[in-house]
Copies of this chain bind each other. A is one copy, B any other.
């Protein structure tokens, strides 16, 4: 703790890239920083799909916030969920994991809680088509992907088997493309020779996209190349397709030409859009801030909320010049928000400049040896793109202990297709009828078909 009697109190909500970089920018400032997050870890979200697909372990993409920030003498990390802000009284209200309340007074507030999955008004899709924003989501996806092959193996009915071997992804942005590539690689490579009742390489991966291109943000040239690579990998791309219905056995799609089509797919994953979490609206109402269509909070060029120079929003949740929801934007805006508080204290307000995002480019992984990269006018795809992707991710992982471990995992999957983190645990109770049946001692169904272990594969 600092020697100041009453140091300025900075509360930071959210330990993602924005919050982490804000804390770092404040490391040498004479302030008392409180970082509050509903998770105890910082999640390296850009690699979440690799945790879902069994390449990386949870520990490789999720580091305890307090371990990452252990050298910050002016910081206290708290595990709690922010629920409300008293803007006039300058207090954040939060709730601890046991349900008890916490009040966190602040002089400065930085909000970087990110966005959540959006179903564009169809929240009922969520049950059958989970998204991937948290570590829990990734572990749930891992369970769904690998369990689908298990279910196909024990299915006697060919239609049921085919439905378990059909994976539908909704939304062909980076996450949809990355997951589509991962599932085809698992099917064709990782699971090779592991099954006797099915041929996992026959698994269909359908990638639905409402617009007319995959990875549209990367421009037409890279989009075409990515589509070609996905096609070679066996991913079936369906452009101009809007999902109108999702249930537990598949989904219905409306095409551009007005026709509708039904697909039997027991695994549907939603990678289509984001919206602000409920706390954003709570904050916006309390501070009189405006929100954009997705619920992001409109900020001034210095990332403050209009009329509230003590409240800043950074990362995916801020709405400023249509900046994209990228890790790099979150890092830079979080660092800016922290730096502005430090500069204020140092009396360096006259030279203050508005936030400017320095575009360092973006990358999307397609499969081993294939990625697309766009940095300003520079574009790369295929193996060169993948090598750049690799370098970027090694650099970004710097400072995390898991860097070497991730490199080892990538070497293994590149060389052999083998994935070392495939273990999944039993699903949450509502997902699984079997647990209930087995616990309540339900007698076996006498009409059950005989499963013949000697039937040909």
Contact = CB atoms under 8 A, between A and B. Distances in A.
A84 B444 contact: yes
Nearest to A160: B100
A105 B443 contact: no
A391 interface: no
Given A66-B195, A426-B136, A444 B59 contact: no
Contact of A62 (B34, B62, B423, B436): B423
Interface of A: 1, 6-7, 9, 11, 32-34, 38-41, 54, 57-64, 66-67, 70-71, 75-81, 83-84, 91, 93-105, 134-136, 139, 146-147, 150-151, 153-154, 193-197, 278, 401-402, 404-405, 408, 412, 418, 420-429, 432-438, 441-445, 447-454, 456-457
Contacts of A421: 57-59
A437 B405 contact: no
A156 to B, nearest CB: 8
A61, A64, A77: most-surrounded residue (chain B CB, <10 A): A64
A441 B61 CA distance: 30
Copies of this chain in the oligomer = 2
Nearest to A439: B278
B423 A105 contact: no
A447 B100 CA distance: 11
Contact of A99 (B77, B134, B139, B437): B437
Contacts of A38: 426, 434, 438
A285 B445 CA distance: 19
B54 A438 contact: no
A124 to B, nearest CB: 16
A38 B424 CA distance: 11
A16 to B, nearest CB: 14
Contacts of A60: 57, 420
Contacts of A83: 437-438, 441-444
B422 A79 contact: no
Contacts of A41: 422-424
B76 A453 contact: yes
A278 B95 CA distance: 40
Contact of A58 (B57, B78, B405, B456): B57
Given A405-B408, A428-B429, 12 more contacts: A1-B457, A38-B434, A57-B421, A58-B58, A60-B420, A64-B194, A66-B195, A81-B434, A84-B443, A96-B154, A97-B434, A401-B412
A423 B136 contact: no
A441 B9 CA distance: 26
Contact of A79 (B103, B151, B196, B412): B151
A79 B438 CA distance: 14
A136 B99 CA distance: 24
Given A70-B194, A84-B444, A153 B76 contact: yes
Contacts of A59: 54, 57, 420-423
12 contacts: A33-B453, A57-B58, A59-B421, A59-B423, A64-B194, A64-B422, A75-B196, A93-B444, A95-B438, A97-B427, A98-B434, A104-B453
A54, A195, A196: most-surrounded residue (chain B CB, <10 A): A196
Contact of A103 (B80, B93, B436, B449): B449
Nearest to A427: B97
A425 B97 contact: no
A138 B159 CA distance: 37
Given A57-B59, A77-B153, A79-B151, A454 B402 contact: no
Nearest to A416: B401
